[in-house]
Amino acid sequence: MSETHARRRSLLRAELRAGDLDALLVTDLLNLRYLTGFTGSNAALLVHAEDEERSVFCTDGRYITQSETQVPDLRRVIDRPCDIALARSAHGRLGFESHKVTVEGLDLLSEAGTAELVRAPGLVERLRLIKDEAEVEALRMACAAADRALADLVEHGGLRPGRSELEVARELESRMLEHGAAGPAFETIAAAGPNSAIPHHRPTGAVLRSGDFVKLDFGARVDGYHSDMTRTFVLGAAADWQREVYELVAAAQAAGRAALEVGAKVADVDAAARSVIETGGHGERFLHGLGHGVGLQVHEAPALSKVGVGTLAAGMAVTVEPGVYLAGRGGVRIEDTLVVRADAPELLTLTTKDLVVV
């Protein structure tokens, strides 16, 4: 992975030169992981625009051994606080992550050295928009862990009347661990009956009953990367209204997936799915954006929504997750994680999207 991290830093140095910056002080821990592979809780990185040899990684004494293993290809400093230690050694125009640094932190950086501090928000995040193949492979593994966990849950009768939402959610998280996840990507949503009409319902002791919609929104985390998937089931027998709502959401989700083309405006992708639901008479019951980016964060850029800005590029990893929510009755959401490709999007979450009645 050292070569991968070095290549990412090389891309960043090109951005720094284009922005007339002599160096960038990276303090966000996720950006540090992206650029170095370091997974500890305290570090900073000084990336020089012209010379990799002058770039410096800093952490504290707790992580001497860990940093030797994870960051073998950069000069290291053991000090604390790391941002101040690196700022003292910087010269010229020093970019800093102004979207992450507090007002007090900026005051301390200003007092630390002689470099001219320049706001440089989002430089690393813009690189993170396009996933390299190492990242896509981690996402594939995370999605596979989630797919297998759900298959096990259903096969072993984990979705049945009498169980609570909490029991279902905890079993699903446990099964993701069994299939290689380091942990859940976020708190699992298990929502039954009327609760399935709440987009981000938190699981409770509510009991699953025959005839319920059961909505499961969950993901696995592998090598720091997150999957995100939603499937909606029916317990017992599906009523006509449930089939109609499910088929509408499934058609919208298919339209959203098909719209994931290189160069497509993110707002147009949202519109492709939203128009299907609006035509079906439930536009006002689609209560959120169509999707979001996934990677080192489960929610990151780009945002696929009516107010989203920008266009899709090859290598972006996104979700497509339309939903219809009928208050007091139940709701349906169907969500996949995909990677935008030059020919057609690569589907990473492979569990069937047909209506499953258990």
In the three-class reduction of DSSP (H, G, I as helix; E, B as strand; rest coil), residue 8 is classed as helix
Is pLDDT at 159 greater than 80 in this prediction?
Answer: yes
Cβ(233)–Cβ(220) below 8 Å: no
Euclidean distance between the first and the last CA atom of the chain, given in angstroms as a whole number: 43
Average the pLDDT over 165-175 and give the result. 98
> Which of 111, 92, 106 has the alpha carbon at shortest distance from 49?
92
Domain ranges across the chain: 2-128, 133-357
Question: What are the tens digits of pLDDT across the range 286-323?
Answer: 999 999 999 999 999 999 999 999 999 999 999 999 99
Which pLDDT does position 113 carry in this prediction? 84
Question: What are the tens digits of pLDDT across the range 214-251?
Answer: 999 999 999 999 999 999 999 999 999 999 999 999 99
Question: What are the tens digits of pLDDT across the range 78-132?
Answer: 999 999 999 999 999 999 999 999 999 998 898 888 899 999 999 999 999 999 9
Mean pLDDT of all residues belonging to the chain? 97
Q: Could you tell me which CATH number the domain at 2-128 has?
A: 3.40.350.10
CATH of range 133-357; options 3.30.420.10, 3.90.230.10, 3.10.129.10, 3.30.750.24: 3.90.230.10
Question: What are the tens digits of pLDDT across the range 253-264?
Answer: 999 999 999 999
Interatomic CA distance for residues 341 and 31, integer angstroms:
24
Q: How confident is the model at residue 2 (pLDDT cuts 50, 70, 90)?
A: confident
| pTM for the predicted model, two decimal places | 0.95
